[in-house]
Amino acid sequence: MIANTSTPPPTTRVDLAERPGETRKQREVRVREARILSVAREQVLEGGYLGLNMDRIASEIEYSKGTIYQHFRNKEEILLALTNDALDTRLRMFEAAAGHVAPTRVRLATVGAAAEAFVEQFPYHFKVEQIVRAASIWEKTSPERRRLMESCERRCMATVVRIVHDALAAGELTLDDRVQPEEVVFGLWSIYLGAQIIAHTSHALNEIGIESAVSSLRTNQSMMLDGYRWAPMSDDYDYPFHMDRVKQQCFRHEQFAPR
Amino acid sequence: MIANTSTPPPTTRVDLAERPGETRKQREVRVREARILSVAREQVLEGGYLGLNMDRIASEIEYSKGTIYQHFRNKEEILLALTNDALDTRLRMFEAAAGHVAPTRVRLATVGAAAEAFVEQFPYHFKVEQIVRAASIWEKTSPERRRLMESCERRCMATVVRIVHDALAAGELTLDDRVQPEEVVFGLWSIYLGAQIIAHTSHALNEIGIESAVSSLRTNQSMMLDGYRWAPMSDDYDYPFHMDRVKQQCFRHEQFAPR
DNA sequence: TCAAGACATGACGAATAGTCAGTTAGGAGC
DNA sequence: GCTCCTAACTGACTATTCGTCATGTCTTGA
């Protein structure tokens, strides 16, 4: 961030439209930051962490390297900014999904559809998130950005936890005393994350015997919720059909794209 | 690999014990390779991909850098060798687990215990695997090592697929026509991988509301298998107790350590 | 003992992250 | 329209580190 232009906290959601009461300078800064991230995202998508090259970013946005370092303290900050964009995008998709009026398990399936749509529409987001999780880049980044990321993660979790609570209240789900609502969400999170990572990183998935990772994921997730006896059970409701429809109707457009 | 000493294919399982019919030279090479990997593993554990430093490896094993490059074509090959060790270790643990004589779902729980023991005993293995999955290092590595890795993954999968087939044969599990045995394994793999990644990379897990990731993972995995109606159901068998016992009795010692 | 090949060495080239002294541009004051 | 001033921009430079290769050293067999 430029030090003396009193920018808002480092969210990287940058709106390119004019903003009232903003100097030309401030707008330039905002737009340039967006361009840096846009170029960076492409590079990461192509070549991962090593593909992200400060000199190349500089030449592509036609500013000098020093200018980039006025926006981001180092390479890792750029990665974390990209990750924050990703998490923010997903959070908005989840919140839109969770707001649908339907039985709790159907709402949950809608969130599942959002999760599917997220990786399909924004594969670079997913990839960046993986890189940040694996590489030891946390130490080099600013606490503000880290906190932003954690808060995003917590809110994402909370969105789903709320559905579990609603299900308990509605009597559509009953939990053993020893099992917390958060643990159910942990299970869903695990299975989605794991399946998507395998699908993206395991070479020759169909050699292993998996034709469609998405459909397998749906089956397994359904089996888990059936195990919890969350009504309506998968025999009584066509969740795959619902998910396909929701994905087409609500998550089709790029309305959730970060910029 | 040293080019002209006709070493076996590049498995990195190096046994330090004397081998019959081996020249002193060959043994030196073998031992040195093991030391390189051992030092490398520590560095990766400390600082991830960026923590792995060829010069530092050289100084620590007290050989020159050029010598390291006679063993491994580049940095990525070292990482992949470490990953192969990891996968190999896990495979041996899985095969030991799957061989136990018990009802199929209990055998599966034993494999689950092996998976838990693996990450607990060899956290560096797990970390290295994550790094290799996330970073784009595949292009730089030799096809032999990649094939070795894929074969390890396939055999790991096959070990569990076999249990599903046995369950079907024994009538302890019935699958819908549209669901393949491999898909069940994909579900288990997903949930374990996802949960372990979250547990290792999500800062402040208990802030999110998860006290014990292991116990939550067990619950969710059990719910999934209950959803499949794989007998004996979790109400009729104390799987957590079994897993704890197996972990203590069979996977306690470092008998599966790679070297 | 010596020749020849195998192996080890570390200085070097190349790539790239991050810095900073110097330059530029644009707004304020007159 | 001129001058001054400062924020912002620039790119040459340093530091780090991967990977190479010409050179040196050791081993082996005759």
Angle at A238 between CA A237 and CA A240, to 5 degrees: 140
Residue B15 in contact with residue B56, Cβ under 8 Å? Answer: no
Query: What is the pTM assigned to this prediction?
Result: 0.89
Chain B: closest CA distance from residue A161 (Å): 10
Please give the structure tokens belonging to residue A15: 């709106």
For the residues A110-125, what does the mean pLDDT come to?
94
B173 in contact with A at a CB cutoff of 8 Å? Answer: no
Judged by a CB distance cut-off of 8 A, whether residue A190 touches chain B is yes
Residue A221 pLDDT exceeds 60: yes
* Helix residue ranges, H only, chain B: 24-51, 54-61, 65-71, 75-98, 104-121, 123-134, 143-170, 181-201, 205-208, 213-227, 239-250
What pLDDT shows up at residue A77?
A: 94
Mean pLDDT of chain A: 88
What is the spatial distance between Cα A99 and Cα A166, in angstroms, rounded to a whole number?
A: 12
Q: Which of B50, B146, B224 sits opposite A227 (nearest CB)?
A: B224
pLDDT digits (tens, 9 = 90+) for B95-152: 999 999 999 999 999 999 999 999 999 988 888 888 888 877 777 888 888 898 889 9
The answer to whether residue A217 neighbours chain B at the CB level (below 8 Å) is: yes
Residues 139-168 of B with CB under 8 A from A: 146, 150, 153-154, 157, 161
pLDDT digits (tens, 9 = 90+) for B221-237: 999 999 999 999 999 99
Range 49-88, chain B: CB under 7 Å to any strand C atom: 63-67, 69-70
d(CA A160, CA A181): 9
Do B36 and B72 form a contact (C-beta atoms < 8 A)? yes
Give the model confidence (pLDDT) of A141-178 as tens digits. 888 888 998 899 999 999 999 999 999 999 999 999 99
- pLDDT higher for B46 or A204? B46
Looking at residue B22, its pLDDT comes to: 60
Contacts of B157 in chain A (CB under 8 A): 208-209
pLDDT in tens, B53-80: 999 999 999 999 999 999 999 999 999 9
What are the counts of helices (DSSP H) followed by strands (DSSP E) for chain A?
Answer: 11, 0
Tens digits of per-residue pLDDT, A128-151?
888 888 877 888 888 888 899 889
B259 confidence band (pLDDT: 50, 70, 90): low
CA B32 to C1' D29, in angstroms, rounded, equals: 26
CA gyration radius for chain A?
Answer: 20
Neighbours of A178 (CB within 10 A): 8
Instruction: Report the percent of chain A where pLDDT is more than 70.
Output: 89
Q: How many residues does chain B have?
A: 259
Is the pLDDT at A25 greater than 80? The verdict is: no
Give, as one character, the DSSP assignment of residue B230.
P
Distance from CA of A157 to the nearest CA of B (A): 8
A52 is near strand C: CB distance < 7 Å: yes
The per-residue pLDDT for range A183-213, each reduced to its tens digit, is: 999 999 999 999 999 999 887 788 888 999 9
Nucleotides of C under 7 A from a protein CB: 6-11, 16-21, 27
**Which of B44, B155, B208 is best to mutate for the A interface (most A CBs within 10 A)?**
B208
Q: Which residues of A touch B203 (CB under 8 A)?
A: 138, 146, 150
Do the beta carbons of residue A186 and residue B216 sit within 8 Å? yes
- Is the pLDDT at A8 greater than 70, yes or no? no
Phi, psi of B72 (to 5 degrees): -130, 135
- Gap from B58 CA to D17 C1', Å: 13
Distance from CA of A116 to the nearest CA of B (A): 15
Q: How far apart are CA B34 and CA B242, in angstroms?
A: 36
Contact B131 A134 (CB under 8 A): yes
B65 touches strand D (CB under 7 A): yes
Q: Output DSSP code: residue A8.
A: P
Q: B186–A195: do the CB atoms touch at under 8 Å? A: yes
- A21 pLDDT more than 90: no
Question: What is the per-residue pLDDT across B6-44, written as a single tens digit (0 to 9) for each?
Answer: 333 344 444 555 555 566 667 778 889 999 999 999 999
Burial of residue A136 (CB within 10 Å: 0-12, 13-18, 19+) is middle
List CB contacts (< 8 A) between B193 and chain A: 190, 193-194, 197-198
pLDDT in tens, B139-189: 788 888 889 888 999 999 999 999 999 999 999 999 999 999 999 999 999
In Å, what is the separation between the CA of B62 and the C1' of D23?
20
- Structure confidence by residue, pLDDT tens digits, A47-64: 888 999 999 999 999 999
